Amino acid sequence: MSGVPYDPSKWQTDDRLYPPQRDSERAFSGYPKVRRFRSLKHNTLIGENGSIEIRTLTNQIVFSKTGADGKGVMEQ
């Protein structure tokens, strides 16, 4: 849907956002039910309830989806 061909070997140069990788998983300070996955230009936050937020490195939210309980990542 991005128009950029899927090629994970080009993750540093193709401006496509690839799925989070386990080796980039971190705790998210102050939110024990949220995990942070660092990408080249984004942080992906995933809550225990399945909520998701994708933020730029300047903390601008570019995607947000509530979890199964209707709560967002920061409402955990």
The pLDDT of 60-72, averaged and rounded, is 97
> Is the per-residue pLDDT at 1 higher than 70?
no
Please give the mean pLDDT across all residues of the chain: 90
CB-based burial, 38-50: b 16+ in 10 Å, e otherwise: ebeebbbbbbebe
Q: Of 19, 34, 24, 20, whose CA–CA distance to 72 is shortest?
A: 34
Whose tokens are 């995933």? That residue is: 46
pLDDT digits (tens, 9 = 90+) for 18-50: 778 888 899 999 999 999 999 888 899 999 999
Residues linked to residue 26 through DSSP beta bridges, in sequence order: 36
Q: Is the pTM of this model over 0.85?
A: no
Residue scoring higher pLDDT (9 or 74): 74
